[in-house]
Structure 1
Amino acid sequence: MAVELALSADTVRTIVQKARNVSESLPDSYEDGHEGDLSFDTEKLESAHHHEGLAEEEHDDFSESELREIIDDLNVDEKIELVAIAWIGRGDYDQSDYELAFTEARERASSPVSNYLLGLPLLPDYLEAGLEALNL
């Protein structure tokens, strides 16, 4: 039996796709066991152009901001449902505990939901697994 949600499954799938795009665009800085090691070519640094002040970088990839906007534009109940779906997908709750997951998510909401969800490294996987568990 599927759970009735205010949030459409298609919206959740859109969020999943955007979240996958965001995670794929992040550089893997821990390749080959070099956990973020940095090295500089001092000769190139000395001859590099120096800017007067700071300039904003333009980015062609607005996936994260689009994802954040989609989540922020949801109403309160839809945001709480999204968190509950992620928790179910993560295995914190099962389908029969959906109402409990929803209630807990509502009670524990203290920061912007988009910040919380974008902080989950496996968000797209959790949301997909949650949709599947809820038969959506």
Structure 2
Amino acid sequence: MLNLNPETVCFLISRTRVFHSKEAVALPDEPDSPTDDWALQVLADHSGDSVFQEFKATVDDLEPDQQQALVALMWLGRNDFSADEWVAALQEARQNWDENTAEYLIAHPLLADYLLEGLHLLGYSCDE
């Protein structure tokens, strides 16, 4: 069902929690601009952050279909899709995929929670 190693998702969740817990990181709840590059604009100030770079490198190393699964997992976790609509979520992610997946994901302040919930809905967890 999930063509992505859950351990990788759990690692990304841990990096996301560290990144979003930093005081200097300020992400809007809603984008100020309707343009597609709002995530890039928001994260421009954080490009030198080592945790962000580690998160980005991990996501960038994934195959496009795995990046798409990660986005679909986030959407699943934030209730844009139900577990029964997993295939539709993957199709939507495939249609909207671009090379800025890491920036798109990390710009969501509740990303860690969304990914964890998405894993749970598909029967996975980050428990040891």
TM-score (norm 1): 0.71
1:15 to 9, 12, 36: 12
Residues 78-133 of structure 1: CA deviation (Å, up to 9, x unaligned): 00000000000000001000000000011012451111101111110100010011
Q: What is the DSSP-based 3-state SS (H/G/I as helix, E as strand, rest coil) of the residue aligned with 1:93?
A: coil
Q: 1:28 to 1:115 in 2, by over 3 A?
A: closer
Structure 2 unaligned blocks of 5 or more: 27-47
Output the aligned Cα RMSD. 1.6
Structure with the greater alpha carbon radius of gyration: 1
Residues 15-47 of structure 1: CA deviation (Å, up to 9, x unaligned): 000000101123377xxxxxxxxxxxxxxxxxx
| Identical pairs, percent | 32
Q: Given residue 114 of structure 1, which amino acid in structure 2 is its aligned partner? A: A
User: In the alignment, what sits opposite 1:50?
Assistant: none
Q: Given residue 88 of structure 1, which amino acid in structure 2 is its aligned partner? A: L
Structure 1 unaligned blocks of 5 or more: 30-58
Q: Given residue 85 of structure 2, which amino acid in structure 1 is its aligned partner? A: D
User: In the alignment, what sits opposite 2:100?
Assistant: 112
Q: Aligned pair count?
A: 103
User: In the alignment, what sits opposite 1:42?
Assistant: none
> Hey, what's the Cα distance between the residues in 2 that align with 1:134 and 1:97?
11
2:57 to 53, 58, 69: 69
Q: Given residue 66 of structure 2, which amino acid in structure 1 is its aligned partner? A: E
User: Which stretches of structure 1, 4 residues or more, deviate above 4 A after TM superposition?
Assistant: none
